[in-house]
């Protein structure tokens, strides 16, 4: 066996490093300096990615998340998994993602309810929203204000007249935090007293309307369609500022309540500090997924349209929504419950 080379310059320093090993190490370090931090993310993702949904399985937000996850899986080359973490109007899911490792593997299906948590949950720390990095918007849509077919009101004007004649007797099935503030705004602007009953997601709230347990809820076109077709439910109004082309005979709430505007939306957010390379990879995968024909068609069936954005665009939108609903809460004197 050949003897190890001796370090004659510093006799006590141990064996002299092999020259070839030194050259290989130098080359590797040089490549890292040239490629920079992007090289470290060249393999992202190399394990499954989770989308945490703050609402119950079966509701519109959950359906959208699963549609997106299925489309993104082949694009990213890793399984995208949907995980439902319900409770506290979405706060449990938001807190969980905000504390997660900022590595791109834990994402939040953010909603309108996410940005108004400071107004609806007394125990929520508003600074938690600063711990989220908006990645891309998924979609935005007006929704239907629906009622059981037995309700003696067929449009928004008749509903408000009925609510004024029966103060405190009209109940609203709230699907999440956003509904609570939205109905509070309607109460203030219209001078009515509609009571809130909470449900864990859209599907239970719609079922409650069909069963006559509550008189109102908001529902996506996809969720409402089967019950409207069967005659168990009717559409009282839409929440957009103007009537929808698909429902020209259904008034917008704003026709009877000027200034009322309630648009539901979803998007993806990551923990703050997630490397830009990972954020950009996710946003690009979302853009590709939301452009697929089968995804677009399914979104249309659900009554919405894809609206992917850059991380910068969604960040601006996210911050604007926080301010908008904080201003609404202040205007109506709404405090956390």
Distances (CA, A) of 151 to 70, 148, 155, 204, 240: 39, 6, 10, 19, 22
* Contact predicate 65/82, CB 8 Å: yes
CATH 3.40.190.10 assigned to 144-256: yes
- Report the alpha-carbon distance of residue 138 to residue 69 in Å, rounded: 12
DSSP line for 246-270: T-TTSPBHHHHSTT---EEEEEEEE
Quick one: pLDDT at residue 279?
98
- Six token digits for residue 242: 């103007």
- Report the alpha-carbon distance of residue 328 to residue 334 in Å, rounded: 8
Contacts of 270 (CB under 8 A, 6+ apart): 97, 102, 104, 106, 107, 108, 132, 133, 135, 278, 279, 282
Do 49-140+265-332 and 144-256 show the same overall fold? yes
What is the pTM assigned to this prediction?
0.71
- Report the alpha-carbon distance of residue 118 to residue 100 in Å, rounded: 20
Q: What string of pLDDT tens digits covers the 337 residues of the chain?
A: 445 454 544 445 455 555 554 444 444 444 444 444 444 445 899 999 999 999 889 888 999 999 999 999 999 999 999 999 998 889 999 999 999 999 999 999 999 989 999 988 888 999 999 999 999 999 988 889 999 999 999 999 999 999 999 998 999 998 766 777 888 889 989 999 999 998 987 889 999 999 999 999 998 887 898 999 999 999 999 998 889 888 999 999 999 999 898 888 999 999 999 999 999 999 999 999 999 999 999 998 887 889 999 999 999 999 999 998 998 888 777 777 6
| β-pairing verdict for 263-271 and 106-111 | antiparallel
DSSP line for 313-337: HHHHHHHHHHHHHHHHHHHHT----
Residue 196 C-alpha from the chain's centroid? 22
Phi, then psi, of 99 in degrees rounded to 5: -95, -5
* Contact predicate 258/185, CB 8 Å: no
Domain boundaries, the chain: 49-140+265-332, 144-256
- Residue identified by tokens 């864990």 is 200
3-state secondary structure of 284: helix
The CATH architecture that domain 49-140+265-332 belongs to is: 3-Layer(aba) Sandwich (3.40)
Distances (CA, A) of 23 to 33, 143, 290: 15, 64, 47
* Contact predicate 76/103, CB 8 Å: no
- Report the alpha-carbon distance of residue 115 to residue 122 in Å, rounded: 14
Quick one: pLDDT at residue 240?
87
């Amino acid at each position: 066996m050949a003897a190890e080379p001796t370090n004659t310059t510093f006799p006590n320093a141990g064996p002299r490093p092999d020259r070839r090993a030194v050259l290989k190490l130098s080359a590797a370090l040089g490549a890292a300096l040239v490629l920079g931090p992007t090289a470290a993310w060249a393999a992202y993702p190399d394990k499954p990615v989770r989308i945490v949904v703050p609402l119950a399985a079966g509701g519109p937000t959950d359906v959208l998340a699963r549609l997106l996850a299925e489309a993104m899986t082949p694009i990213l080359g890793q399984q995208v998994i949907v995980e439902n973490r319900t409770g506290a109007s979405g706060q449990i899911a938001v807190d969980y993602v905000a504390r997660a490792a900022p590595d791109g593997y834990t994402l939040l299906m953010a909603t309108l309810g996410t940005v108004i948590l400071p107004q609806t949950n007394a125990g929520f720390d508003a600074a938690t929203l600063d711990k989220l990095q908006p990645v891309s918007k998924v979609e935005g849509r007006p929704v239907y204000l629906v009622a059981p077919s037995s309700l003696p009101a067929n449009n928004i004007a008749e509903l408000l007249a009925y609510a004024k004649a029966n103060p405190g007797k009209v109940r609203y099935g709230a699907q999440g935090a956003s509904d609570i503030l939205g109905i509070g705004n309607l109460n203030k602007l219209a001078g009515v007293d509609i009571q809130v009953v909470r449900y864990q997601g859209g599907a239970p709230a719609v079922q409650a309307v069909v069963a006559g347990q509550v008189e109102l809820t908001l529902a996506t076109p996809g969720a409402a369609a089967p019950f409207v077709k069967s005659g168990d439910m009717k559409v009282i109004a839409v929440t957009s500022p103007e009537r929808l082309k698909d429902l020209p005979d259904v008034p917008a709430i704003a026709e009877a309540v000027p200034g009322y505007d309630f648009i539901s939306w979803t998007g993806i957010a990551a923990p703050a500090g997630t490397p830009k390379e990972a954020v950009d990879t996710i946003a690009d995968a979302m853009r590709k997924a939301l452009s697929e024909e089968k995804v677009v068609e399914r979104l249309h069936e659900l009554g919405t349209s894809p609206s992917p954005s850059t991380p910068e665009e969604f960040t601006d939108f996210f911050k604007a929504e926080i301010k908008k609903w904080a201003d609404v809460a202040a205007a109506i004197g709404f405090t956390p419950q």
